[in-house]
A and B are shown apart, each in its own frame.
Chain A
Amino acid sequence: MPLPKSDLPQGTLDLLVLKVLALEPLHGYAIAQRLQQLSREVVRVTQGSLYPALHRLENRGLLTAEWKVSDTGREAKFYRLTRKGRTFMQEEVASWQRLTNAVGLILDAARGDAT
């Protein structure tokens, strides 16, 4: 039974895409699949948001793209993280973790009060 899907907070998709690509270069379809697998089917990205995000990141120089022959035998556009993208991702990850920690602390404290 499928779990309810969660909406991604604004700007999170960029971070997730960068993180997935940090492991290996992938094409758009594989990125969507990978996000779905890694999040255990919770995160489902629509193509309408994935591709504009990829193009935006490419435009900002965080990703580069290359056309390569893929497993299907056709050419596909593989995205790869640039050095700038890697630095950016690390900063974003750190900042995300700071934020979630802080949110977690607040939530924990609030729970403590309630019990």
Chain B
Amino acid sequence: VSRWRRLWQRERLLDAELRDHVERLVVDYVRDGATEEEARRRARLEFGGIDAVKDQCRDVRRTRLVDGLAQDLRYGARVLRRTPGLTVFAIASLALGIGANSAIFSLVDHVLLQSLPVRDPGRLVLLDGGAWTNPVWEQIRDRQETFSVGALAWADARFDLSQGGQTELVEGVWASGGFFDVLGVGAGLGRTFTAGDDRRGGGPDGPVAVISHAFWQRRFGGDPRAIGGSIPINGVPFTIVGITPPSFLGLTPGRSFDVAVPLATEGLVSGRRSWLDARDASMLEIMARLGPGQTVDEATQSLRQAQAQIRAATLPHGWPARMLDRYLSGPMTLVPAPGGPTSFRTRYERPLWILMAVVTLVLLIACANVAHLLLARAAGRQRELTLRLARESPGSYWWKVRCWPAWARCSACASRSGPPA
């Protein structure tokens, strides 16, 4: 900022200086007997283009700066060309360090830092306690208005899209009918599915599927005719009704879904092995959206009023009495989940941060290595450098005198903190 201010200041002074000259010309002409207007005209004529003069004055500084810079760059390139081995090593180690950092950071950002790309993620809450069974979800679904403005459930799965002998496994999601509506994720193309589609055996359009933007691009090449087409999930044909926007990757951080289908169609696909009615198969994550002004605690209280009924209606068969007691008394708690399910985050948070720290260290070590190499070379080129410093212009003198000690200091610090890998 101060650099721009200096530049602006210099411009202002240049302008003032030249204007002063013109004013003095005018005064002289007036003294010689010209009228004010005539004097002004002649002064302008004599002075010529004020902007052209300004430009020439600016050039005096500019060319010097650019010349110095170009000279330094040329010199740098020449040195690098002269030692290809060193150059390749330095560039490669820095590239590796920077590459690893950006890769890990994008993962950290995606899993730990970003909120879900949905409407108002701060209002989303998760039903704590890991996964829940479908009978529990059905009880909650029927009571969702009592504690929230909408609830949703989903389970991640692998879908087998194999057709005609070619195996194709994709990332699938069983999602409740309100999934997209409650999240506030509209369709990029076509429509998302609703509670009407979430019926056992399929809704009015039969079994329907919503696919992700990435899958649409990959599998259908972005062809809009994919909508209305059919994909077989474990041999059962589903009709594609819509495509999600590119930003929506699903609710599980670090995993992007390909195909989402209504939860109730699970029976259709899995047949006798379906877990829709299994009271001991905890498959589903359950989330809800808080109403305006509603707090997490208020929502939890409302949910707990219905908790006894929910638990009683979903008692697992054949469990020992002691475990049933614990099942009945376990409190249901809602927790804020602006970034999706917390279980995933808590599980990966520490390893990810450690990984981030490690790659940062790798970059530092790479820097230290490069600094060492350059230092070793600089020591070998002492005589040449001294000669250059003695006869070069002040601009590059500054760079070299200031930059070489900086390198030396950096690498000295790095070598004190540990041996380079």
Contacts and interface: CB of A to CB of B under 8 A. Distances in A.
Contacts of A59: 60-61, 64
Interface in A73-88: 74-77
Interface stretch (B10-18, B80-88, B185-193): B10-18
Contacts of A72: 23-24, 27
B89 interface: no
A96 interface: no
A46 interface: yes
B interface residue count range (under 10 / 10 to 19 / 20 to 34 / 35 or more): 20 to 34
Interface residues of A, number: 17
Interface in A48-68: 48, 51-52, 55-56, 59, 67
Given A47-B47, A48-B56, A51-B53, A29 B20 contact: yes
A51 B61 contact: no
B236 interface: no
Interface of chain B: mostly helix, strand, loop or mixed: helix
B25 A29 contact: yes
A77 B24 contact: no
Nearest to B19: A74
A92 B13 CA distance: 30
A7 to B, nearest CB: 17
Contacts of A74: 20, 23
Contacts of B23: 72, 74
B387 interface: no
Contacts of B56: 48, 51-52
B96 interface: no
A27 interface: yes
Contacts, number: 52
Contacts of B21: 28-29, 47, 51
B52 A48 contact: yes
Given A72-B24, A72-B27, A77-B20, A55 B53 contact: no
Given A28-B17, A59-B60, A48 B27 contact: no
Nearest to A49: B56
Contacts of B17: 27-28, 51, 76-77
B64 A51 contact: no
A14 to B, nearest CB: 12
B247 to A, nearest CB: 53
A28 B54 CA distance: 14
B59 interface: yes
A85 to B, nearest CB: 16
A53 to B, nearest CB: 9
A104 B338 CA distance: 92
B385 interface: no
Contacts of A77: 13, 16-17, 20
Nearest to B55: A52
A55 B20 contact: no
Nearest to A67: B13
Interface in B199-253: none
Task: Tell which of A27, A46, A55 has the most Cβ of chain B within 10 Å.
Answer: A55
Contact of B53 (A29, A48, A67, A75): A48
Interface string B160-181: 0000000000000000000000
A56 B58 CA distance: 10
A60 B414 CA distance: 40
- The 5 A-B pairs at the shortest CB distance, nearest first, are namely A52-B56, A29-B24, A55-B57, A55-B60, A56-B60
Interface of B: 13, 16-18, 20-21, 23-25, 27, 46-48, 52-53, 56-57, 59-61, 64
